[in-house]
Chains A and B, each alone.
Chain A
Amino acid sequence: MTRVGARLLLVLGFACVWPALLQAQAAPPLQIPKECAAPEATEIATSTLPNIATALKSRKKLKILAMGASSASSRGPASGGHFAIVEKFLEATFKGLDVVIVHRGVSGELAGDAAERLKMEVALNNVDLVLWQVGTADALAQVPLDDFREGVGASIRWLKSHKVDVILVGLRYAISMVKDPHYQAIRTAIRDLSKEHHILMVGRYAAEELMEKLRREKGIVASEAETTEAGYVCLAEYLARAIAAGIFVRDGQPAGQPPSKVN
């Protein structure tokens, strides 16, 4: 069994031994698609989602705010787009848990400009967790690195001080951006911010890079739409497992072994 598979089973295993928090049952066999299961696919700082864990002690509803680039999908509105994967996974993993995702992504919005809207949406929707796809617009708009760090850092601090957990979703892989210094600097900054503030970060760059490499090796030609779709599906699959994993790690002490990386 690969490290990827072992860690995935570990995460799912946690879900099976969580009766105190929810009426947990054996997790359904939702497997990460093979094409997503790449080494170093998803980088997650060793950290927790403490506020969610606390909130779920008294209720069975998890409200998630999706910010940043809005996700649309060829999976169509009937299936709820990519975040439906997250919702479905969590609800299937934790029996009785009602997951509500509030979509407030504004594609192209800079992180600094999103700050006030983020606060407003958190307050209006009483959310437990923010999924923040951040950085792409700032990288493309050439926002100075320090401004980006400062803007995102301030929002993270505000969220933490208001007992709202946050997961950063990192940049996408694009071959033309591999040697773009600003793009790579923003990518590094997101990772650094997650470490500095001890928050979860789900990166999809490495996964998409590997997918692209495998496609090239196998001579598979994929359209932009197919590549984008595959990337978003992987992102959602990892995100779901990252949230599940994060819930189990409390006060820095896991109810088992914390997954420092979920692959």
Chain B
Amino acid sequence: MPRPANPVDFWRGFALISIFINHMPGVVFEALTHRNYSYSDSAELFVFLAGWSLRHVVGPPEDRVPVHRLLFRLGGRAVTIYAAHMTIVMLAIAMLAVASRALDNPLVLEWNNAAAVFSDPINTHIGLVLLSHQLGYFDILPLYVVLMLCAPLVAIIHRLAPSLLLPLSAGIYFATLIFQWTVPTWPAEGQWFFNPLCWQFVFVLGFSLSRERGPGGWVRANLALVRRLALPILILATIGAVVGWTPDPTSVPDPKLLFIAGKTFVTPIRLVQFLALAAVLSATFEFIERAVPAIVTYLSMLGRNSLQVFCVASLLSLAGQIVHFYFRGGLLVDTGLVTFGVAILGLTAWMTEWRERAKGSR
């Protein structure tokens, strides 16, 4: 039996739907996603909850999973995510090629950073396999692969010296901001859209705060205080995001990345706002569950099967971009796209669980 609806799965499902919609630029419903009212967006939520979910693999302190099994599990998870990423990237490339042929439009081949695949296939295929070339909107899973490859290290540090984990992660994060370290792309020159040296901090924060001891324990013990502190931050940040206020990057002192808003480096402004958002939203789940139980059940189902749903959502988003372009968008087309997409995502999650149930009953 799948686990019942819970806040982590629910918010993960929420993040998946938001990512699906945001990855269809120009779609009417994009204006409704929370990134329009927030400095952070669903990417922070997704990575934070990925870190939070690591607790299920690592296990509770009183029932420690042997290290070799831990490494095997986390390594296996990284390989699974990598395989999933490669599969959807190949399908996406084929979708762009088919669309280009069907619409007789070479511009489609250049969409979402796919141009290099067709113009420089030898190098770009090497880059795709090495994750140094990423299609636009297909760049979260490479980050996730790197994070999962680092997860055994996270788990081992947590086991051997738990108090060191967060400071170490924060150290890498701030050093990256101060020295502007980036991870280059190849063969097309550039940098990873999600800098893993910064985003690892969101992942480790998710993991650390999920634990009953350490920072997670402190937050649980002082949750009311944390929420009281978070609320005014969130209100101010929401006002700032709505009116479009961000610090002028040329006016702030060095190191600039400490003071400006940037997604690539998930800068402190985004991170603090996200943590405030998480603290406040953590109080809302029970209310939402009572108000709209069907939606909570549905989104939790998506969240329980996040990898499969994410992969299908990525492909649906790309298909949605093509359809949106072909039919020139509009409320009717966009409503159809989002409704159909959300239904397919539900079907994906349901089929995944149905298959698991079928396996279990054998």
Contact = CB atoms under 8 A, between A and B. Distances in A.
A104 interface: yes
A109 interface: yes
Contact of B123 (A71, A77, A104, A117): A77
Contact of B26 (A80, A106, A142, A175): A142
Interface string A113-133: 100110110111000000000
Nearest to A175: B104
20 contacts: A70-B113, A70-B116, A74-B119, A76-B187, A103-B190, A108-B112, A109-B136, A116-B246, A119-B248, A123-B260, A124-B249, A140-B321, A140-B325, A142-B26, A176-B104, A177-B105, A182-B328, A224-B118, A225-B119, A229-B119
A50 interface: no
Contact of A107 (B115, B246, B328): B115
A198 B26 CA distance: 29
A172 interface: yes
Interface of A: 69-74, 76-77, 80-81, 103-110, 113, 116-117, 119-120, 122-124, 136-138, 140-143, 162, 172, 174-177, 182, 224-225, 227-229
Given A120-B262, A177-B107, A228-B115, A72 B249 contact: no
Interface string B172-197: 00000000100000111111010000
A73 B120 contact: yes
Interface of B: 25-26, 100, 103-116, 118-120, 123-124, 136-137, 180, 186-191, 193, 246, 248-250, 252, 256-257, 260-264, 321, 324-325, 328-329
Contacts of A162: 250
A109 B193 CA distance: 11
Q: Which of A71, A120, A143, A174 has the most CB of B within 10 A?
A: A120
A31 B75 CA distance: 54
Nearest to A123: B249
A225 B118 contact: yes
A80 to B, nearest CB: 8
Contact of A103 (B26, B119, B188): B188
B111 A140 contact: yes
Contacts of A77: 123, 186-187, 189
Nearest to A126: B250
A108 B25 contact: yes
Given A107-B115, A229-B119, A174 B105 contact: yes
B261 A116 contact: yes
Contacts of A120: 249, 256, 260-262
Contacts of A109: 136
Given A177-B107, A225-B118, A229-B119, 4 more contacts: A123-B250, A172-B110, A177-B105, A224-B106
Contacts of B123: 76-77
A107 B110 contact: yes
A225 B124 CA distance: 14
Contacts of B104: 175-176
Contact of A72 (B105, B187, B252, B264): B187
Contact of A108 (B120, B137, B187, B260): B137
Contact of A106 (B100, B113, B252, B329): B113
B119 A117 contact: no
B25 A110 contact: yes
Nearest to B107: A174
A92 B241 CA distance: 46
Contacts of B114: 107
Given A70-B190, A71-B188, A110-B26, A141 B325 contact: yes
Contact of A142 (B186, B248, B260, B324): B324
A67 B135 CA distance: 16
A171 to B, nearest CB: 9
Q: Which of B107, B111, B324 has the most CB of A within 10 A?
A: B107
Nearest to A71: B188
B293 to A, nearest CB: 35
A39 B299 CA distance: 57
A177 B100 CA distance: 12
Nearest to B260: A120
A103 B189 CA distance: 6
